[in-house]
Amino acid sequence: MRRHMLAVAFACAVVTLITAAPTARALDTAEYATRRSRLMDDIGTGVAIFLGATTPASDVAFRQGHDFFYMTGVEIPDAILVVDGMRKESVLFFTMDEKAADGLGIPVDLVRTPSKVTGIERVMPADGFNGYLAGLVRRNTPVYTLFRPEEIGPENSNEKFNALQRSMTMDMWDGRLTRELQFVKLLRERFPQADVRDSSSAVWNLRKYKSAAELATMREAAQLGVEGHKAFIRSTQPGVAERSLAALFEFVTGLGGGRGLAYYTIIMSGKNHAYGHYHAYDRVLADGDFVILDAGPNLANYHVDISTTFPASGRFSPRQRELYEAALVIRNAAIAAYRPGITLRAVGQKMQEALVANKLERFASDFASIIRYGGYNHSVGMATHDAMGTFAGPDEVLRPGFVFACDIQIYRVDEHIGVRIEDTVAITDMGSEVLSLGAPRTVVEIEALMREPGILQSLRR
């Protein structure tokens, strides 16, 4: 009977997760058309060329590059998009038959009636691109293309570029250019008269401010992430392996419709608080451990970034509570200050005032850099570390549609204590919205949640 009751409890927990799961909504074709139109305004009479991601070299699911997907919503390998500012039209190049599409899980209608499905004015076979490109170059108008690498899944373009420069381009035994820079090189060699320009900043500035439809998707992604964090926290106790907890987070968010993870789940405990992005999952939690979970799902190609901090035992020690509540004061001051028109520097001033008002000056050096940037860490969107064409640092003026990570941290590595309270925040017309609202934040909330039954414990019983 007891085993039956536990099985029923576990089944109920899973049903709750399923019924609470968000349903990712596909963006309307008009959304992509608006983005292409805005890019046309930026490039004038020029043309912008986007290379889609290539067919995977191994048996893994195809993922489209973020910038190409942002402009098209199309997930077909080896496609090319041309956005023509002079003619005010876009042209999609690809070749795929219905059987191949069906085998890859690509909607067959996308192959049958691509213009209707995508809203892109013209669709041509892939082998028509070379002749079409030659005609574009003869117009003597600028040719824009991305100079920075495509982002796929959890990647960030700038981080990827820097890594490839070190490991490939600057390697004396390699020397290859990135795919994007190789395309630029060939354009200039084959069409010496072409004025080839970088469109990376223009595209990233479009991505910087999210539309209402994007915010709706990110809100759903964040709430899915919150459910994953709660399930993880409920199952945390001494004797539980970090690897099991990491698997649990991915299971819960996948069950709720996540398309994998926004980034590899980060779990820091014990000595590993010394490493900001630790994901080896090589510890079994012990009594006294303080745990940081930094994890978020990918939902419909949009990411969120959420961190929670909690004691493995289920109860904060006095020292853990002291550091945690200091960070929470700073976090709450930042959240309260975010609104359109304010600068990050001005938000930081509000955080500094909260530090003094709560007699937390002893932590001034811990929070100095965090306060300087008003709690801001990075932009969030289709990439967890979303690229931006322009950013003014502490003098950045917050505008509606800007989505970013408010990331408050404090560490005492020698004590094996780290605190990270991170939310995905959107600036709205009226103020701001914490998309990750519902993640447990107060000591009382966390300790209460840890008294609830966990999925891992139900499975073991």
**Domain holding 139: CATH number?**
3.40.350.10
Q: Does 424 map to a domain?
A: yes
Nearest to 358, CA basis, from 320, 332, 339, 336: 332
pLDDT digits (tens, 9 = 90+) for 176-232: 999 999 999 999 999 999 999 999 999 999 999 999 999 999 999 999 999 999 999
Residues 6+ apart with CB under 8 A from 434: 335, 423, 424, 425
Judged by DSSP in three states, 311 sits in strand
Would residue 82 count as lying in a domain?
A: yes
Residues 204 and 242 in one domain: no
What predicted TM-score, i.e. pTM, was given to this entire model?
0.94
Number of domains in the chain: 2
pLDDT digits 0-9 by tens, 289-327: 999 999 999 999 999 999 999 999 999 999 999 999 999
- 242 with 288, same domain? yes
The span from the CA of 6 to the CA of 13, in Å, is: 11
Which of 208, 228, 250 terminates a domain? The answer is 208
- The full DSSP string for 313-325 is TSS--HHHHHHHH
Whole-number pLDDT of residue 133:
97
Helices 212-235 and 443-450 pack at an angle, to 10 degrees, of 60
Examine residue 317 and state whether it is found in any structural domain, yes or no.
Answer: yes
Q: Does residue 33 lie in a domain region? A: no
CATH of the domain at 353: 3.90.230.10
Considering the domain architecture, whether residues 360 and 386 belong to the same structural domain is answered as yes
Q: Does one domain contain both 372 and 235?
A: yes
Q: Does residue 36 sit within a domain?
A: no
Looking at the DSSP assignment, which residues form a beta bridge with residue 427?
A: 432
Compute the CA torsion angle 162, 408, 389, 220 (nearest 10 deg). 110
CA pair distance 213, 215, nearest whole angstrom: 5
Q: Residue 461 has what pLDDT?
A: 77
Q: What is the model's pLDDT at position 8?
A: 45
pLDDT at 17: 54
**CA atoms of 334 and 343, how far apart (whole Å):** 12
Question: Which DSSP string do the residues of 26-66 spell out, in sequence order?
Answer: PPPHHHHHHHHHHHHHHHTT-EEEEEPPPPPSSSS-----H
Element (H, E) at 417: strand 417-427
With a pLDDT cut of 70, the percent of the chain lying above it is 95
Distance of alpha carbon 436 from alpha carbon 433, whole angstroms:
9
How many of the other CB atoms lie within 10 Å of CB of 247?
14
Domain assignment of residue 8, yes or no: no
Residues of the chain with pLDDT under 70: 1-25
| Residue finishing a domain among 147, 178, 208 | 208
User: Does 222 share its domain with 202?
Assistant: no
Question: Does 390 fall in a domain?
Answer: yes
Strand, coil or helix: what is 132? helix
Q: Are residues 111 and 246 in the same domain?
A: no
418 and 355 in one domain? yes
Output the CA torsion 278→281→285→291 (10° steps).
30
Instruction: Verify that 333 and 419 share a domain, yes or no.
Output: yes
Q: In terms of domains, do 217 and 361 share one?
A: yes
Q: Residue 269 and residue 311: Cα distance in Å, rounded?
A: 10
Q: Among 184, 208, 232, which residue terminates a domain?
A: 208
Distances from the Cα of 14 to the Cα of 7, 81, 231, angstroms: 11, 42, 10
Whether residue 283 is found in the same domain as residue 405 = yes
First to last CA, the chain: 12
Tell me if 330 is assigned to some domain: yes
Query: Which pLDDT value is given to residue 7?
Result: 47
Scan for tokens 């930042």, then name that residue: 334
* pLDDT number for residue 14: 54
CB of 211 within 8 A of CB of 401? yes
Q: Could you tell me the residue range of the domain that residue 396 belongs to?
A: 212-460
Can you give the pLDDT at residue 161?
96
Whether 217 and 203 share a structural domain: no
Q: Given this model, what pLDDT does residue 367 score?
A: 98
224 plus 173 within the same structural domain: no
